[in-house]
Each structure stands twice: as structure tokens, then as C-alpha cells.
Structure 1
Amino acid sequence: MYKNFLVPIAPDHGADSASALQAARLLADSDARITALTVADEIPGYVIQQLPEGLLEGTRAEMLAELKADLGRVTDVKADVVTGHAGRTVTDYADAHGADCIVIASHRPGLQDYFLGSTAARVVRHAKCTVIVIR
């Protein structure tokens, strides 16, 4: 069905991540690519100036190692960590890497989500490809 999946995974690696990856595998063609993506929040410039040199790179490396550890010995999924605003960065990454389907886990929306919007809602509204939301 689809050839290039993007599966955004929250930095806390919620329990729904496995369900999203399983859904991507079920919808995938035999030669499909699946990328698990974690988006690290962007840190304002005035804060970065106060941080020790190399701290951000080290933190991203740790996040990538944790993501790979969560994936285990899975060989059909590529792991990546990028920095930015979660909703916008996921759709930008999907566009830049030619994703034809985004499979994203979502929590049940709370009152604050109706005013601010969850990451999944933003991805659904702005993605140029198919989006499947797992709840």
C-alpha cells in the first residue's frame, strides 16, 4: 500500500509507540521504509548561550540511543532525532523525506487540546500525505 512511513514517537516513548509501528508494518509494502522520529524541543537562543558546549549534541545522541533501545533488535525501522516544534517538524520531515504515510499515536484530547491543539491534530491538519492516528 505505502512505501515510505514516518512514525513520530514522543520523547517519553509512550506505550502507543509500539501500536503505531505495528500499524505501519501492517500497511507496508514488502519493500517499504519505516522511520521512527523523535522531535526534541527547540531551546531558545538566550538559554543555549548559558549551556555548556556540547550539551545539546550529547542530549540528542542520548535521545537517539534511547529510541534505538526502545526499537530493540528491529531491523526494518530507521531511527532519527531532530530538533524543532513537534507538529511543524513532523510535517516538514515527512515532506523532505518523501513520506507517503504518517502513523502517529495520540492520547484522548483534554480541554487544553481544544484551545492549543495536540501534535497529532496539527500533523493531521498540515500533512500533505496520508495520516493515520492510533488511539
Structure 2
Amino acid sequence: MYTNILVPLAPDHGAVKDKSLDVARKLMGPGGRITVLTVVETVPAYLTHYLEAGREEANRRQIAQELAAEFAGTPEIAVAAVLGHPAQTILDLAERDGHDCIVIASHKPGLQDLFLGSTAARVVRHAQCGVHVLR
């Protein structure tokens, strides 16, 4: 059983949220904790001048507030919304905060994944802890 589980969710997490949290709860041991993480992908530097000042941070704050409201009253779940590159941010946070398991959803691999790789695939390849991938 795991005691510190990270559940990354895309901002538009929809139906995958319930499945991911159900699996995380089944894997969690007594006294365990789940952190729901949304990574707000940063805009490339060459495009930032098209955005109003502070737009990325405002988006992150809004998503953090929505997550907090969605999981209010669920003491075993903490929430976080951070700016960054999804795969690397998930890996960095998992290592920094001592997560012993990551529960991450994945899509069916497509042709684009052969060249770039999916977030879930990168997390699986580089995580320092257990990773449970959902399809």
C-alpha cells in the first residue's frame, strides 16, 4: 500500500478524474494522502508578448481555486496547480514531495507519440517511484 500518491489531472480532466481517484484510493494505505495535481503548461517565450501581463498566473490561480472547490471536504486529498511542462513538473513534484506512487491516465498511443512521446510515457520512463497507468 502507498502512503503518498500523486494523481496528475489535465485541466479538462472530465471522466478520468473519478477513475484515477478510485484507483488511488484502492492503492492508498491507512493514513495515506492523495495529491491531485494540474500542470498548467507554460506558453513558449516567443508567444508571451501576445498575452496580457500575468495571464498565465491568473489561469493557474483559477484552476487552483476550481480544484480546491471541487475537493473541499475531502481531507485525504490535497490539491495543487502549477505552471510548467507537464511531464517534467510531475516528475519534479513527485520527487520533491516524496510521493511513493503516481496514478496517471494515458490515451491510446498515436503516431505523434512515436516522435514526441506522451506525458504518461515520459513519467513512466523517468519516475523514481511506482507508476500506475490507466487507460
TM-score for the superposition, normalised by structure 1: 0.90
The correspondence of residues 1-135 of structure 1 with structure 2, limited to 5 A, is: 1-71=1-71, 73-135=73-135
* Aligned length in residues: 135
Deviations 1:60-112 (A, max 9, x none): 11111222344464332111011111111101110000000000011111111
Q: How far did 1:16 drift?
A: 1.3
AA at the equivalent of 1:19: K
Percent sequence identity over aligned pairs = 50
How much does 1:18 deviate? 1.3
What are structure 2's unaligned runs of at least 5 residues? Answer: none
Distance 1:110 1:61 in 2: 32
Q: Is 40-49 or 10-19 further displaced after alignment?
A: 40-49
RMSD value, Cα: 1.6
CA distance in 2 between partners of 1:97 and 1:107 (Å): 26
In terms of mean alpha carbon deviation, does 14-23 or 49-58 score higher?
A: 49-58
User: In the alignment, residue 51 of structure 1 is paired with which amino acid?
Assistant: L
Moved more, 17-26 or 50-59: 50-59
